[in-house]
């Protein structure tokens, strides 16, 4: 049951949050509410995975195996860049971003749209560092729930990262040799 003072508390809290957002952003328009929503969504997402792992009775390892950590790191790197920068995945980002131009081999530079929640989602989708948190969590949950299939997929992503490194190395050697 609400009391007349409840509304006053909520109003004061909202004013304080707006003031904090204004003083923090220093005129730059940082979407703190969007970031808070993204952090909440991530918390719900990981709690959901944790609940599924627990319901399925999967035991957690005492500590991660070094090979799994390495495989997860390389697969996370490659999948994060694929999702956040690749030309082929641009239709996934298009509702939240604006194309700016090419950026590196087979990658795009896109800017987040500044239309409410699209700003935060666009920043997440165009930032491989931001995307990697979600990807690493997903791959970790996959290792707990479907270890063989997840390790196979991570092996493929790791091979792709290795192939990318070889392609870039080859291109650099050709450019050095031919003077281009």
Cα 37 off chain centre by: 14
Query: Would you say residue 4 has pLDDT above 60?
Result: no
Q: Of 142, 156, 144, nearest to 82 (Cα)?
A: 156
Mean pLDDT value of segment 105-134: 90
- Report pLDDT digits (tens) over 74-112: 999 999 999 999 999 999 999 999 999 999 888 999 999
* Confidence at residue 36, expressed as pLDDT on a 0 to 100 scale: 86
pTM: 0.83
Between 73 and 19, where is the model more confident?
Answer: 73
* Confidence at residue 154, expressed as pLDDT on a 0 to 100 scale: 98
Q: What is the DSSP string of 134-145?
A: HHHHHHHHHHHH
DSSP 2: -
Task: Determine contact, residues 40/127, Cβ cutoff 8 Å.
Answer: no
Query: What distances in angstroms separate CA 11 from CA 3, 7, 8, one per listed residue?
Result: 14, 6, 5
pLDDT band at 3 (very low <50, low <70, confident <90, very high): low
Segment (H or E) for 54: helix 32-55
pLDDT band at 114 (very low <50, low <70, confident <90, very high): confident
């Amino acid at each position: 049951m609400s009391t007349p003072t409840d509304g006053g508390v909520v109003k004061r809290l909202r004013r304080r949050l707006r003031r904090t957002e204004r003083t923090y952003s220093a005129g730059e328009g940082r979407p703190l509410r969007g970031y808070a929503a993204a952090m909440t969504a991530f918390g719900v997402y990981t709690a959901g995975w944790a609940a599924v792992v627990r319901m399925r009775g999967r035991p957690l390892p005492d500590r991660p195996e070094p090979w799994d950590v390495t495989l997860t790191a390389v697969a996370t790197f490659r999948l994060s860049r694929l999702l956040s920068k690749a030309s082929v995945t641009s239709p996934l980002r298009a509702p939240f971003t604006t194309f700016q131009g090419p950026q590196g081999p087979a990658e795009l530079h896109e800017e987040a749209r500044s239309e409410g929640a699209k700003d935060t989602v666009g920043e997440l989708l165009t930032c491989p560092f931001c995307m990697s948190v979600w990807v690493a969590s997903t791959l970790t949950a996959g290792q707990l729930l479907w270890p063989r299939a997840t390790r196979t997929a991570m092996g493929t992503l790791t091979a792709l990262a290795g192939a990318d490194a070889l392609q870039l190395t080859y291109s650099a050697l050709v450019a050095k040799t031919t003077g281009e």
